[in-house]
């Protein structure tokens, strides 16, 4: 399954467990709803943009 998670700013790499996880804090109901969605249409997706802060400075 292809997903857009690799480009998401919520993607977090856990070095201790050597896994990538989603860093969105959800309560139990939100987590159930999140897990029922397809990951290529994630409602919590935010494009990772490493140059965002630079544009704000200019």
Mind listing the pLDDT tens digit for each residue in 6-58?
A: 888 888 888 998 988 888 888 888 878 777 766 667 777 888 877 776 666 66
For residue 23, tell me if it sits in a domain.
yes
Could you give the C-alpha distances from 16 to 12, 13, 24, 43, in angstroms and in order?
12, 9, 19, 27
For residue 4, tell me if it sits in a domain.
yes
Total structural domains in the chain?
A: 1
For residue 29, tell me if it sits in a domain.
yes
For residue 26, tell me if it sits in a domain.
yes
Statement: the pTM of the whole predicted model exceeds 0.85: no
For residue 11, tell me if it sits in a domain.
yes
What is the extent of the structural domain holding 21? 1-39
For residue 12, tell me if it sits in a domain.
yes
For residue 53, tell me if it sits in a domain.
no
């Amino acid at each position: 399954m292809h997903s857009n998670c690799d480009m998401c700013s919520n993607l977090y790499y856990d070095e201790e467990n050597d896994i990538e996880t989603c860093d969105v804090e959800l309560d139990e109901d939100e987590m159930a709803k999140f897990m029922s969605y397809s990951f290529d249409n994630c409602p919590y997706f935010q494009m990772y943009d490493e140059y965002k802060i630079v544009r704000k400075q200019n």
